[in-house]
Chain A
């Protein structure tokens, strides 16, 4: 008898997950705010680009688009594995999730390494933030982004540790970390388009 009564309630309990905000709500506050901050930088960049079109165009030509493109693929792949890992964690399969997050971390860690292959030749060739306004924007914004990537790698490590050691991994923590990492990815896509591609 009681089972029938519980059975009537089941669909309503099933509704709740659909309305659930993945991860920590305050991480979304951070993500949206961070996007806003980068947005303002982006607007500034567009404005000053409009003021100095030739300078910006010529400076853009000196960027290493190949490394930029590889980095884009690297981050996208990393994000993909984060998605796969989160799905596995939600499905109650922590070992699989662990493996996928490990791959995500490996790809993510490649980003700063590749960045060095991009920046160090540029800096030794005399292209520094002080060279002109374009490069100031470029180094500041990609630099800020790089800091976000490094922080994201640390967060991913903590997610992996949680998946490895906790008896029942905290899904909301995994989702929080994933949210942050996707934000980092989105930011890079915008930066790549703005600095490397937009002519």
Chain B
């Protein structure tokens, strides 16, 4: 079985990452990240003044929201080659990716909605913005679990020539741990844990970016080493 399909899908990741990075840089809501302490009027004014930027990025992210899925799909294929007794970790991984992507898309919709009608009642715009941040934080939960599933599969791999190096598992665990603080961001409105803070925002996005880059490298190696060996997942 040749791995051409996997390699092609894998190489969609760098352009996807580039576009996501562009979206991040252009998104008014993120630079700097909108403070949770703003009043409804201030939030409404923000979306009124930055409507073009917000809508542009919302449209872009609407289009590229699924663009990391191929990378995760190839990961799932490689996890299925791991010699564990069942497919449970592969399937858990796939479902997590689907769920997390949906939450991300909903965040995108909410921000788009917030900017869509400048004359909307400020209370509703503020609500939409809050909703967007809730949904933007949510994927943290699925990434944590999918990473732990990945790590578990590596630790339990019985192959004499394991699919993944052990350090990849440790890396996934560390990533998961570093993402945990973000989940607490809805409890506070100031400080490093708030959704615009150093832990919940900066650390989270930096960790996630590094994680994607590292996983890309790890997967390239795993796919290249697959050779003509058959995948297991059906």
Direct contact of A and B (CB under 8 A): no
A residues engaging B (CB < 8 A)?
Answer: none
